[in-house]
Amino acid sequence: MRIAASLLGADFLHLAEETRKAENAGIAILHLDQMDGHFVPNISFGPDTVSAFRSITDRFLDVHLMLSEPMRYIERYAAAGANLITVHYEAENPLESLKLIHKLGLPAGLSIKPATQIEEILPLLPYTELVLVMTVEPGFGGQPIHPDCIAKIAALKDFILREKLPVLLEADGGIKESNAARLAAAGLDIAVMGTGVFRSKDLSKTVSVIENKEAFTPFWLKKPEL
């Protein structure tokens, strides 16, 4: 399992320094949540923020669009330097959004909220490289993980393996050292961690405990090599 450091959990007054902190600990994926205040009850970042991070790091930028109308913004995020763009199943036109992301030459992710059943998204899995399971209700950091989401991850992993799909599983919300092993056992590939990374007293130790760099080799990951 890998860690994606969620910058939503970083110190906003020192984002460049927080980025360096994650890099120095060996974290290769930076996760950027984009919220519109409509799809979720919060607002964060934007294409210009992604562009700013792109200018200071060569890390893989994992951009999660929590937007009601993702089709309006996908091209802007691609141009800003996103390496992967994830849209929500519950947002407008999820299939067309995934196709547009691919048309722009990027891998596409599909995210689901805790209440969405996995059976609803199975027909869309052939159009994705990643499924992001929200393990808390999206919008704010620091929430505890929903226990039933672990079973959802395991069920999705079973389906992906059975159908031999080149799809990775990512989860976001409430992930920390104390529950990371359970998620890894369920089949999780990427753990999005905000406060668990940026408030860690010993981040290098946290990374060494959670990450298993031999666990998978995503064919779609480009620079940097993970």
All domains of the chain in start order, with CATH: 2-210 (3.20.20.70)
36 flagged as catalytic: no
Q: What is the pLDDT of residues 92-121, one digit of tens each?
A: 999 999 999 999 999 999 999 999 999 999
Active-site residue among 11, 33, 36, 189? 33
pLDDT of residue 79: 98
This prediction has a pTM of: 0.92
Q: Which two tokens stand for residue 195?
A: 């406060």
The full 3-state SS of 51-99, as one line of letters, equals HHHHHHCCCEEEEEEECCCHHHCHHHHHHHCCCEEEEECCCCCHHHHHH
172 flagged as catalytic: yes
Active-site residue among 158, 172, 189, 202? 172
pLDDT of residue 226: 40
pLDDT of residue 64: 96
Residues of the chain with pLDDT under 50: 222-226
CB 89, CB 132: distance < 8 Å:
no
CB 141, CB 6: distance < 8 Å:
yes
DSSP codes, 108-176: EEEEE-TTS-GGGTGGGGGG-SEEEEESS-TT-SSPPPPTHHHHHHHHHHHHHHHHT---EEEEESS--
pLDDT of residue 141: 57
